[in-house]
């Protein structure tokens, strides 16, 4: 809104008031900023400018005409930038707070049977190989078989490691709850399916879980997502109570794609339910 002034004095008074106001605001923001930086090293910019000696390829120092050494400005990632990126990815991953605490370290191996130890080793090996295999045909992992053996814990630990240590984007999709949320909301469905196709790594937990055969809708949507990822060499992490054969019985094209993507990193946990199931421990 435009102000109307009747005299020079009024104009001056107004100007003075404005200057005073600006001055005090800028002072306030300054003191506020310093205390509100999460990282005082880079002031939350995520990078640091450093002056480093300007060298010739053979390593000798470049100098100005008067003999003083030349320097160049160099942009370096601040230590906080990866941390911030990881925090952002963790939020985006839809991994629940409870699951964020699952690590390889707090997975109990003592007294566990061989198949469970194998599954643990498989997840650790996959993590170590990830950078080399991530764009290859076989770039995925599946832990199959016996419920309650810790498959979800191991794959969640793997997801947390990929996010926190490698800044890889991961999306957690629990098969049963995921489809419950999606079945009545077609707008959400489109958005979710796009995310599931494009995310760095897709973690499908308890694929085809249920007392009955999965619905045609569920099979079609899972096929669309997994086939897209198969064609584009994008990794998946799958936990399921079904074996590879059982997955193929439900849908052969889908089962064989999962097998091709995961065959170097697949463990089928079989054994006596009571011994394998950590939820029944002590029963």
Interacting residues with Zn ion (CB under 5 A): 39, 41-42, 78, 80
Write out 154-210 in H/E/C secondary structure: HHHHHHHHHHHHHCCCEEEEEHHHHHHHHCCCHHHHHHHHHHHHHCCEEEEECCCCC
Closer to Zn ion by CB, 48 or 176: give it: 48
- Smallest gap, in angstroms, from Cβ of residue 36 to Zn ion? 14
Which residues face 240 on adjacent strands? 144
Q: Where is 214: in which H helix or E strand?
A: none
- Smallest gap, in angstroms, from Cβ of residue 82 to Zn ion? 10
- Smallest gap, in angstroms, from Cβ of residue 80 to Zn ion? 3
Closer to Zn ion by CB, 39 or 124: give it: 39
Which residues face 171 on adjacent strands? 202
Burial of 96 (0-12, 13-18, 19+ CB in 10 A): exposed
Q: Rounded to 5 degrees, what are φ and ψ at 147?
A: -70, 150
| Nearest residue to 237 via CA among 269, 271, 199 | 199
- Smallest gap, in angstroms, from Cβ of residue 91 to Zn ion? 19
Closer to Zn ion by CB, 85 or 227: give it: 85
Closer to Zn ion by CB, 38 or 125: give it: 38
Closer to Zn ion by CB, 42 or 123: give it: 42
- Smallest gap, in angstroms, from Cβ of residue 146 to Zn ion? 45
**Cβ-contact 128, 253 below 8 angstroms:** no
- Smallest gap, in angstroms, from Cβ of residue 84 to Zn ion? 8
Closer to Zn ion by CB, 51 or 68: give it: 51
Question: Whole-angstrom Cα distance, residue 228 to residue 235?
Answer: 11
């Amino acid at each position: 809104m435009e102000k109307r002034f009747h005299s020079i004095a009024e104009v001056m008074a107004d100007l003075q008031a404005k200057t005073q106001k600006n001055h005090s605001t800028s002072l306030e923001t300054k003191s506020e900023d310093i205390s509100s930086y999460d990282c005082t090293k880079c002031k939350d910019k995520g990078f640091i400018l450093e002056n480093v000696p300007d060298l010739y390829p053979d390593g000798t120092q470049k100098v100005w005409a008067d003999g003083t050494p030349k320097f160049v400005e160099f942009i370096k990632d601040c230590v906080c930038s990866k941390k911030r990126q990881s925090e952002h990815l963790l939020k985006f991953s839809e991994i629940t707070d409870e699951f964020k605490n699952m690590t390889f370290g707090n997975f109990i191996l003592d007294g566990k049977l061989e198949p469970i130890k194998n599954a643990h080793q498989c997840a650790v090996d996959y993590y170590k190989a990830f950078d080399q295999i991530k764009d290859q045909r076989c770039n995925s992992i599946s832990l199959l078989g016996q419920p309650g053996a810790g498959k979800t814990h191991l794959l969640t630990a793997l997801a947390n490691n990929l996010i926190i240590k490698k800044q890889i984007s991961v999306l957690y999709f629990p098969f049963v709850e995921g489809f419950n949320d999606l079945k009545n909301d077609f707008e959400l469905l489109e958005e979710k399916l796009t995310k599931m196709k494009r995310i760095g790594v897709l973690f499908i937990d308890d694929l085809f879980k249920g007392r009955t055969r999965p619905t045609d809708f569920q099979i079609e949507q899972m096929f669309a997502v997994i086939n897209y990822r198969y064609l584009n060499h994008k990794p998946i992490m799958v936990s399921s109570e079904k074996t590879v054969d059982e997955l193929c019985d439900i849908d052969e094209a889908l089962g064989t794609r999962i097998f091709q993507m995961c065959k170097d990193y697949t463990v089928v946990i079989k054994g006596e339910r009571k011994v394998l199931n950590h939820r029944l421990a002590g029963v």
